[in-house]
Chains A and B, each alone.
Chain A
Amino acid sequence: MTIRYAACIFIFGPVPLLAEIDFNQQIRPILSDKCFKCHGPAAKNQKSKLRLDSFENAVKSHGGVVALVPGKLEDSELHWRIRSDESDEVMPPLKAKLPLSPKEKDLLDQWILEGGKYQKHWSFEPLPASVPVPRSDSSDPRNEIDHFIAHELKNSGLHPSDEANRETLLRRVTFDLTGLPPTLDELDDFLADKEANAYEKAVDRLLDSDAYAERMTAEWLDVARYADTYGYQVDRNRYVWPWRDWVIKAFRENLSYDQFVTEQIAGDLLPHATRDQILATCFNRLHSQKVEGGSVPEEFRIEYVADRVHTVGTAFLGLTFECSRCHDHKYDPITQKDYYSLSAFFNNVDESGLYSYFTGSVPTPTLELGDLPSDEGIRQAQEQLRKVENSDEANDAFAKWDGNQSGEVLELSGPVAHLSFDEFKGGKLSNSVDPKKPASSSANNKLVEGKMHQAMKLTGDDPVNLPKGVGDFNRHQPFSLALWVNPSQLLDRGVVARRSKAWTDAASRGYELLLEEGKPSFALVHFWPGNAVRIRSKKVVPLDKWTHLAVTYDGSSMAKGMELFENGVLLESEVIRDHLTREITGGGDPFLALGQRMRDRGFKNGSVDELYVYDRKLTGSEVRSLAQFDSEATKEDLFEIFLQSAYEPYLKQAIQLRKEREAFGEARQRIPEIMVMREMPGNRETHILNRGLYSDRKEVVTAETPGFLPSVDKSNPSNRLGLARWLTSPNHPLLARVTINRYWQMIFGRGLVSTSEDFGSQGKPPTHPELLDWLARDFIDSGWDLRHLFRQMVLSSTYRQGSELTRTDRDLDPENLLLSRGPAYRLPAEMVRDSALAVSGLLHRKKGGPGVKPYDLKVSFKVINPDRAPNVYCRSVYTFWKRTAPAPVMMTFDSSKRDVCMVRRERTDSPSQTLVLLNGPQFVEAARVTAHKLVDKFGKQKDDKLVAHAFRLLTSRKPEKQELKILYQLLAEQKVVFSDLSKAKEFFTHRPQLTGEFKTKTDDPTHLAAVTMLISALMNFDASISKR
């Protein structure tokens, strides 16, 4: 087969010109890398009309010139241009700095001669329904994988390696599947098990373990860019670990992978979604979030949506959508429209681009992680209130009520504050309700002629502050505000009154009366916009005249309990938000203020007069009265006033209702919230953004999957759930391929597509395309069963091979692309640390819960105090992840930074790694503890046994004679060094910050110190920290 042969020449160099060219393997990479930038699929923004991305385009005539004439070199402009010596003719142009190599030129020529055939890019072709398994003469086939591998090896000059010995094999598979080394007991059991299926049994035991779930989760945290802090610059802590625990549970229960993906993308949209399924969607909110003062919220909101697109692109599609954010993709057929159409799926949540600086509100939308308290008390109190209202007793009492005749109804339950703005001295404005509690203002606000006597003209930058505590209402408390306003200019936004420290910096926590495009707008807010109630008048307040505005609220946390009045008349208003579930106090400024709010637009050059604040809901006629609206109160009005201000049984019941609401609110407030996805009512328009700039909106697009991939089954909804259904449909070209490749990479160290993040035309072609497809199909047929997938891989003979290199291996296939030997490389960061903890017995197997803080956070760039024992000994999957200063030990060993979705880690060696392993408290402590245990076990006289045991404990194998000799020498030398007792004692002096939590007790520090150095050396030894 051509592809197979192509894979070989990819590795082994010179092209045998007789072999037929394979477009996807040999030509597409050249065209893509060297030509597509100007002659690719990005038709809109390339200067040249010539496109080389398809046969139809390549053979088009451009004024008689044709790039590709199949079979005819001399007629093909492509041939002449790549061979030209003229600097203004040669392609690629010199200034592109991407010259073609002679080999690439030869390949292109050969391709033209052979007919210039194109293939659709391999990874965009639907996954075949079945993939034939090649016949091979594999010497020891255990399953289909081995046939595919043997088939490729056949003519390579390489031979499969023998099976690794059993110790090596158990160690390898235990690390691969659980991230931990085998215990000596597990090792002995395995060696003792002579049954033919001993290895299979071990694999099944490993797959069905908590450790497996944790290991799988550690890998997924990179993909999901999981962090315990928000990131960017300020980087506060956030509460997202319940999502991590959801992932662990999903792997533990072997949730099918299609469901795993579906729930994370769209669990909230599943029919009868469970709390866990909604929790899963936190996946989409794990991107970095911003709080830095002065940032433009929309800029970052757009950034969040983009991050979701990039994450879905990389994690599930293996494509780099980033490029097409600004323009059509230069290499892959992803248009800018595709990008924004995909982003529309993730754009429809009620979120803010900034989290709240002044409060701890969880950015909306959120899920409450607990059962709601009963609201029975509220319902009963409401019922009682209605009964009292409709009772004969109330009617009788009303008939006898004095107020029935009096006009002074408002005095019956007076305001809590009243500012007349008639006197302004020493920065104080008198408050007629309590002369000892005047309001205050900067002298920049001036008294002017008002509606009644004087009024105050506001700058918009200087507030009028009522005293602390006045007007600091929570959501269970009814209240009303009334005042005269006289705006002098049409404001698109102006803060008239607020109990709220700041706009975006506090997510508007509190309540507020604004003019939005001149229209009164009244809101109670926990976190704007997703947890708030807001109503807005449909009418603009006139300029340059006095208008009376009043707002009333009944304590119900619902929009229908809010009213807006203009000149005493109830305004028709629209409900902008109606979802308030948490407190509205807090965040600072616990008082009502007028005309200004931090980093918000104030009531610039507007005037205010006669402010009244009530701690109850005013009735319509009371508002009319305040507005000097000359009208008789109706009987109904008076009855309402009577109830609310004079009728004892009603008042008592109203207080009861308020108490019930308060108790409910407080109980609900205690339930933790976590960020999740929830569709907002209506549709937020998604625009193509010119060059990706948040403020440069172009045409509106709807939620659609990329046009170059198979289209969506029409029965699917056009939301995230539809997207998930599309991704997980059994013939989708990418999800299964991308997934099995990532897990192949996890087990074999390199993906069959080595660029596991890029399956596009710039990515590396697969080394074993048929195997990739076969595994993907097998995975889907198994019901997306991950354990099945891992069994297939680790039970194969290919996996079980020894990993030693021969000279032939090195010469022919140094990177082991053809898998003629087993995988070998340094363990990932988590395993390096966890295995040291495991062998020492320190490992604390706590499952789940808040991120834990190991010793190294003490010396990270942002110093964090470590936890105490036993939390410092938890597995690394639980390590608290601070984005701006990730755990330094993890970073030293090439951990992902978790800023953005990553599906592949670098593997480097550095001197810093040696210092961490030799000197880091976590490792030194583990060595001390191990030494302690071994000395306890073997005493001081059996160093030979101790050394052998230590070696096996750390490496899972028995030492060779030479190794033993080296280790005896090491021990002897260290004993001499530590015969200086002062050194040995110093070594064991307990210094919690430096040496860890464990306190050493010994009567022979010299011996123990020497043994510790022995263990430390073994912990640094390749056989401990490498997969072999």
Chain B
Amino acid sequence: MQASPNGKTPIDIKHSSKCTGFESALGLDRRGFLQRFGGGLGGIALANMLHAETGNGLHHAAKAKRVIFLFQSGAPSQIDLFDHKPRLIKETGKELPDSIRKGQRLTGMSGNQASLPLVGSPFKFSQHGKSGHWMSDLLPETAKIADDLCIVKSMYTEAINHGPGVTFMQTGSQFPGRPSMGAWLSHGLGTMNQNLPNFVTLVTKNKGGQPLVSRLWGSGFLPGKHAGTRFRPDKDAILYLNSPKGVSSEGRRKMLDRLKDLHELQLERTGDPRLETRIAQYEMGYRMQSSIPEVTNLGKEPDSTFQLYGQDARKPGTFAANCLLARRLAEQDVRFIQLYHPGWDQHGGLPGGIRRQCKETDQASAALVTDLKARGMLEDTLVVWGGEFGRTNYCQGKFDAKNFGRDHHPRCFSIWMAGGGAKPGFSYGRTDEYSYNVAENGVHVHDFHATILHLLGIDHERLTYKYQGRHFRLTDVHGRVVKNVLV
């Protein structure tokens, strides 16, 4: 195409005549608009799916606007934290009864053990708050927010190993390839902010433990832009955020302005509406260069914040610092904030190991809930705490009541939720007297996902994406909303 006919040089055209008015059958204009504001096709996807039922792009009124998932990777022992079992303590040292095991599969790590001796928790349990939640003395700070917590003690899963287990919790499938929960939400709900990614992942630094993999916050078969963005505890919080050394903000701005001029000319030349998107992406990238350092800079928080979250929060990359950062991201309306804290995989040396883990997480987890509440954000922010499965009531390896280990246990585990429409001070589901099987109100991982989507205003059966000829869902073909845990 030729230069504009009015004789003006296109450099002066700040808004090309082709930037607007694309009223095409396929709504490219709308798509371009949404991409410019980061909403992407997700907004359209849901809007189309819903036939604008509720007028605000949701299937029903949402209780939660955002989620902070404090994922405890490696699988914390329910028996030593929330699921108090006096009978198990009494029968410590005895063999796991066949009537309880019921021939169910074990992992290859303890499955070949000649003996499976029961071991009760060595930690002291007591009840807390008006709700009377049982917790062990490993969680003194969490105990203080007992009345804010909805504890589900009857979670169960299908995976018996970490890789499949974590993948199941995050994507609804044990095997790689599906989108993560945050990616589904990004696809379904679009973004609420213009300067930050929609879905952020924070991993505790230098924790070792079971390896995590980037697909856990990946987009699976959804477009790549729905993948979680991992913020690193580094100056470059995201990939190549900062301009090269020596390039000033002013220099960058000027260069981008000229690039924009070139792109507007190119838009003239080609008529390709994607150029509008590209121009917008350069602007968003530029904004992120200041918005991300700003949100990740914890330095301006008052001392009281660090008293609340613990002094660990001053060290970038700790769980405490990530909890605080999660609150700051939530304030900026990042929709899904996924934390990972590895190190709960206590096959041996559990009493010492779990004590360390709790020291690293108890105060900050409780602080996050307290802080959100104080800021009036807990109402519409759902906080979830939990791992990929539970741990066995029997000892892995040699029996030693003081220094034992527990193997993976998919048949029951405990998680807690706070805020965002989860019923506070409430305990749901029950395990048997050995914390081996679910005795009442089991909550499958698919049910858990269905419930979270419900709180966000989404019907899990209707948030779908057609791929390879099939309408895929986070909950596959399963899942039911656990109505009892809702406010």
B270 lies within 8 A of A804 (CB): yes
Are A233 and B11 in touch, CB under 8 angstroms? Answer: no
Is A1009 part of the binding interface, using a Cβ–Cβ cutoff of 8 Å? yes
Chain A contacts with B in 733-780, Cβ cutoff 8 A: 755, 757-758, 760-763
Partner of B9, one of A807, A888, A965, A1013: A965
Q: Please tell me if the beta carbons of A1021 and B251 are within 8 angstroms of each other in the complex.
A: no
Q: A97-B461, A810-B24 are in contact. Are A1021 and B266 (CB under 8 A)?
A: yes
Decide if A678 is an interface residue (CB 8 Å cutoff): no
Cα of A734 to Cα of B179 in the assembled complex, Å: 29
- Say yes or no: B9 contacts A805, CB within 8 Å: no
B274–A459 touching, CB < 8 Å = no
Contacts of B7 in A (CB 8 A): none
* A909 x B112 contact (CB < 8 A): no
Asked if A987 contacts B255 (CB within 8 A), the reply is no
- Shortest beta-carbon distance, B464 to chain A, in Å? 9
CA distance A900 to B275 in the complex (A): 32
What is the minimal beta-carbon distance from A456 to any residue of chain B, in angstroms? 15
Cβ–Cβ < 8 Å partners of B113 in chain A: 461
B interface residues, how many (CB within 8 angstroms): 93
Contacts of B284 in A (CB 8 A): 911, 914
Contact A978 B255 (CB under 8 A): no
A605 (CB) vs chain B CBs: closest residue: B114
Closest CB of chain A to B18's CB: distance in Å?
9
Chain B 142-165, CB-CB to A under 8 Å as 1, else 0, gives: 000000000000000000111100
Among A233, A884, A965, A970, the one with the most B-chain Cβ atoms within 10 Å of its Cβ is: A233
Given contacts A461-B398, A918-B243, contact A1013 B163 (CB under 8 A): no
Binds B, one of A15-23, A83-91, A242-250, A988-996: A988-996
Does any Cβ of B come within 8 Å of A973's Cβ?
yes
Query: A894–B398 Cα gap in the complex (Å)?
Result: 49
- A3: interface (CB < 8 Å): no
Tell me how far the C-beta of A388 lies from the nearest C-beta in chain B, rounded to whole angstroms.
47
Q: Scoring A residues 954 to 965 as 1 if CB is less than 8 Å from chain B, else 0, what string do you get?
A: 000000101101
Given known pairs A294-B161, A824-B272, A1022-B266, the reply for A461 and B258 (CB within 8 Å) is no
- Tell me, in angstroms, the Cα distance from A859 to B234 when the chains sit together: 11
B246 near A988 (CB under 8 angstroms)? yes
Is there an interface contact between A1009 and B246, defined as CB atoms closer than 8 Å?
A: yes
Q: Does B374 contact A (CB under 8 A)?
A: no
Check A13–B25 contact: CB distance below 8 A: yes
Residues in B neighbouring A804, C-beta threshold 8 A: 1, 269-271
Q: How far is the CB of A313 from chain B (nearest CB, A)?
A: 10
Given A12-B25, A1013-B255, check contact A459 B250 (CB 8 Å): no
Find out whether the CB atom of B162 lies under 8 angstroms from the CB atom of A1023.
Answer: no
A231 within 8 A of B: yes
| Residue of chain B at shortest CB distance from A951 | B262
Q: Assess whether A703 is interfacial by the CB under 8 Å rule.
A: no
Give the size category of A's interface with B. Answer: 35 or more
A288 touches B (CB below 8 Å)? yes
Give chain B residues whose Cβ lies under 8 Å from the Cβ of A924. 244
> Across the two chains, which residue of chain A brings its CB closest to B287?
A911
Is the CB of B278 closer than 8 A to any CB of chain A?
Answer: yes
Q: Which of B64-72, B211-219, B305-313, B420-428 contacts A (4 or more CB under 8 A)?
A: B211-219
Query: Which chain B residues lie closer than 8 Å to A604 at the CB level?
Result: 114
Contacts of B97 in A (CB 8 A): none
Q: Are A884 and B211 in contact (CB under 8 A)?
A: yes
Known: A292-B161, A1016-B255, A1022-B263. A915 touches B241 (CB 8 A): yes
Closest to A991 in B: B245
Judge whether B356 is part of the interface by a CB distance below 8 angstroms.
Answer: no
Pair B108/A803 contact, Cβ less than 8 Å:
no
Question: With A459-B114, A461-B114 as given contacts, are A911 and B470 in contact (CB-CB < 8 Å)?
Answer: no
Q: Which residues of the other chain, A, contact B289 by a CB distance below 8 angstroms?
A: 915
B435 at the interface (CB under 8 A from A): no
Q: Does B109 contact A (CB under 8 A)?
A: yes
CB of A599 within 8 A of CB of B263, answer no
Residues of B within 8 A of A758 (CB): 468-469
From A231, which residue of chain B is reached at the shortest CB distance?
Answer: B176
**Is A974 touching B470 in the complex (CB atoms < 8 A)?**
no
Complexed CA–CA distance, A1017 and B468 (Å): 39
| In-complex Cβ contact of A235 among B213, B275, B470 (8 A) | B213
- Cβ-closest chain A residue relative to B1: A804
Q: Is the CB of A233 within 8 A of B213?
A: yes
Could you tell me if B162 and A292 are in contact, using CB atoms closer than 8 angstroms?
Answer: yes
Given the contacts A461-B114, A899-B176, A1021-B262, A235 and B469 also touching, CB distance less than 8 Å = no
Asked if B278 and A909 sit within 8 Å, CB to CB, the answer is yes
Known: A295-B161, A888-B239, A891-B224. A814 touches B26 (CB 8 A): yes
Bitwise interface map of B from 1 to 37 toward A, beta carbon under 8 Å scored 1, else 0: 1010000011100000000001111101000000100
Whether A1017 contacts B213 in the complex (CB less than 8 A), given A912-B285, A991-B245, comes out as no
- Enumerate 24 A-B pairs (CB-CB under 8 Å) in ascending A order: A232-B163, A233-B161, A235-B211, A294-B107, A461-B113, A461-B397, A599-B109, A804-B270, A806-B271, A814-B26, A861-B213, A888-B239, A899-B215, A909-B281, A912-B238, A915-B240, A915-B289, A962-B11, A977-B254, A978-B251, A987-B247, A991-B245, A1020-B259, A1022-B262
With contacts A909-B35, A1017-B255 known, what are 8 further pairs, Cβ within 8 A?
A233-B213, A461-B398, A826-B274, A856-B239, A914-B281, A974-B255, A983-B246, A1013-B255
What is the interface of chain A, defined by CB distance below 8 A to chain B?
A: 12-13, 97, 231-235, 288, 290, 292-297, 303, 314, 320, 322-323, 331-332, 442, 444, 459-461, 504, 599-602, 604-605, 695, 755, 757-758, 760-763, 803-807, 809-811, 814-815, 824-826, 856, 859-862, 883-886, 888-889, 891-892, 894, 897, 899-900, 906, 908-916, 918-920, 924, 960, 962-963, 965-967, 969-970, 973-974, 977-978, 983-989, 991, 994-995, 1009, 1013, 1016-1017, 1020-1023, 1028
